Structure 1
Amino acid sequence: MVAKPPAVKGRLVSRSGKIAMCLLLFAYQCHPSYPLLLIANRDEFYRRPSAPAARWPGTQLIAGRDLEARGTWAGASPGRIAAVTNVREPGVPEPLEALSRGEIPQQFLCKRDSPEQFIQSLQPQRYRGFNALLFDIDSENSLACAGNRHTPFIFTAGIHGISNGAADEPWPKVERGKAALAEIIPGADQPVTFANFVEPALALLRDRTPAPDPQLPQTGLATEIERALSPIFIHIVANSPATAAMLPSGGYGTRASTVITIDRKGHCQLWEQTFVNGAPSGPLRHLKTPQLA
């Protein structure tokens, strides 16, 4: 479990000017034809520039791109999937000359190292708190969780979730999301299609239901902000003196919803819907990787 920082009733941002948000929900070895089904929301300040999912030039990587730090939050390459979430720990100082956490999935997806080999090559002390999901279809231990607030480990088969604490830490949005994901996984005799999985997964990721106050995680933020961050889909605008005091201008919320599937041949498909100020922006994007040779 991630150690809880002391209570800080301040701004939404940490000392580094960053915020720790995102949600990963995934079904590992729950369908005979698809070893991993991943759905994710990327939450970020509305003012931070980003590019929608695309194939990155000179690579087989498909992912959205953070145009400020140049990394990604979730993506795929042939036979591989990776994603990262931040650990919410307001007031914790960042490392000297900290590296961008978004480079972790980018680098993994452009290499052929196993998850365990890649974890050994990381310099975890160079990053602010993170959890990184690393999947390689050709590795014996194919799905690993790297991080610098816990010992790296291998996932067991099942439905899992990571928000901004430890993996499977029972935050309301994680528990709600895992239960909903279990309901939409197609049966073993059914292929995964847009209609029977992708569409309901994207609907799941639009859930704006806040958690009851007694169930909110205690991560050091004011209760008002913990409540605003508790839905699966987040939309916060600085429209009151209270929120303006805790948010930089421009607001904060879910910027992209992503669904990634991979079949037994290593063929990945990625769907992504981007959002601006809580509303869809642009069309739903659909990208594919080649199959493994």
Structure 2
Amino acid sequence: MKFHHRPTEALHWWEDGKILGGRDVTAGGTWLASNRQGRVAFVTNVRELTSLSAVFAKSRGDLPVRFLQTHKTPLEFAEEIAKEADQYNGFNLLIADLSSMNMVYVTNRPKHGSCYVTSVPPGIHVLSNASLDTPWPKAQRLEHGFRDSLNQYGDGELPVNEMVDKLMGNTIKDDHSKLPQIYPPEFEYQLSSVFVDAVSVKGRYGTRSTSALAVKASGEVFFYEKHLENDVWIEHTETYLIEKNEK
């Protein structure tokens, strides 16, 4: 989610042809991206009242880019980021190497300490603007909806674009008693749905794109995005094969 007035670029291969994802024009980073080597990274902000000034804080969107540009393992990169975590506002970062089936989660807003790094076990996980798998109601709705889709299609191929519309387009909001109680209640209520279209003193804020990345056992990757451009939703899909690491 971003303010609608903040300029972004839709899903595309970046100029050097090595990174696939959307891009934040203001800071140059991304929220979700991948590369041909089977690496994937995405970041979310942590909902909090206080933050570092933009003058002093490093851009969180640069974290996925740095991972995609390095040859370090997810754990090695996570440990590197942990050493500079205090230079960023609150973030959740998930980084994965699909070739080695290895995923790591990093956050600089853990319950205890200044940074938390852990491997992510196989299974279904949901990440919003709190720690990984925090049971916010909208996160639970998303998880339950995803499980229902898996049960519905079984071993068949999942219709990615239909799933994105169904799961990420959910506008159900929470009862005020179930809100995290971090922001003012009126604004937090607007943020309590999976799909967000909110108004704040800084302008229109909410969902400007939804994405899905699916990988077949053959190594074929499907990266789907639906983004808002001039109040019109535009769909785009990129496909590619993960390149084998030749040693």
Indicate the TM-score class for this superposition, using the shorter chain for normalisation: 0.7 to 0.9
Distance, in Å, in 1 between the alignment partners of 2:25 and 2:55 is: 22
Matched, 1:247 2:204: no
* 4+ residue segments displaced more than 6 Å: none
Task: Between the two structures, name the one with larger relative contact order (CA 8 Å, sep ≥ 6).
Answer: 1
User: Structure 1 residues 173, 268: CA separation in 2 closer, same or farther (over 3 Å shift)?
Assistant: same
How many residues are matched? Answer: 235
Contact 1:75 1:81 in 2 (8 A): yes
Deviations, residues 91-131 of structure 1 (Å, cap 9, x unaligned): 24458721100011111122232110111222212111100
Q: CA deviation at 1:265?
A: 4.2
Contact 1:80 1:266 in 2 (8 A): no
User: Structure 1 residues 45, 84: CA separation in 2 closer, same or farther (over 3 Å shift)?
Assistant: same
Which residue pairs with 1:149 in the alignment?
Answer: 109
Which residue pairs with 1:290 in the alignment?
Answer: 241
User: Structure 1 residues 265, 124: CA separation in 2 closer, same or farther (over 3 Å shift)?
Assistant: farther
Deviations, residues 129-188 of structure 1 (Å, cap 9, x unaligned): 100011102336x01101211311111222111111111111111111111011112655
SS of 2:209 mapped into structure 1: strand
Deviations, residues 176-224 of structure 1 (Å, cap 9, x unaligned): 11110111126553234xxx343123321111111111111122x1111
**TM-score (ref. length: structure 1):** 0.75
Distance, in Å, in 2 between the alignment partners of 1:120 and 1:59 is: 27
Matched, 1:98 2:57: yes
Which residue pairs with 2:174 in the alignment?
Answer: 211
User: Structure 1 residues 92, 98: CA separation in 2 closer, same or farther (over 3 Å shift)?
Assistant: closer
Which residue pairs with 1:87 in the alignment?
Answer: 46
**TM-score (ref. length: structure 2):** 0.88
Q: Percent identity?
A: 29
Name which of 38, 52, 63 aligns with 2:21. Answer: 63
SS of 1:165 mapped into structure 2: coil
Contact 2:59 2:88 in 1 (8 A): yes
Which residue pairs with 2:78 in the alignment?
Answer: 119
Name which of 146, 154, 157 aligns with 1:191. Answer: 157
Name which of 224, 230, 233 aligns with 2:192. Answer: 230
Deviations, residues 246-289 of structure 1 (Å, cap 9, x unaligned): 4213x111011001112334432211111258x543x3010123
Q: Which amino acid aligns with 2:165?
A: L
Q: Which amino acid aligns with 1:208?
A: T
Distance, in Å, in 2 between the alignment partners of 1:159 and 1:268 is: 19
Matched, 1:269 2:230: no
Distance, in Å, in 1 between the alignment partners of 2:104 and 2:96 is: 7
Distance, in Å, in 2 between the alignment partners of 1:265 and 1:128 is: 38
Q: Which amino acid aligns with 1:177?
A: L
The runs of 5 or more residues in structure 1 that have no matched partner are 1-42, 238-245
Distance, in Å, in 1 between the alignment partners of 2:94 and 2:41 is: 5
Distance, in Å, in 1 between the alignment partners of 2:9 and 2:238 is: 14
Q: Which amino acid aligns with 1:84?
A: V
Distance, in Å, in 1 between the alignment partners of 2:215 and 2:9 is: 23
Matched, 1:47 2:5: yes
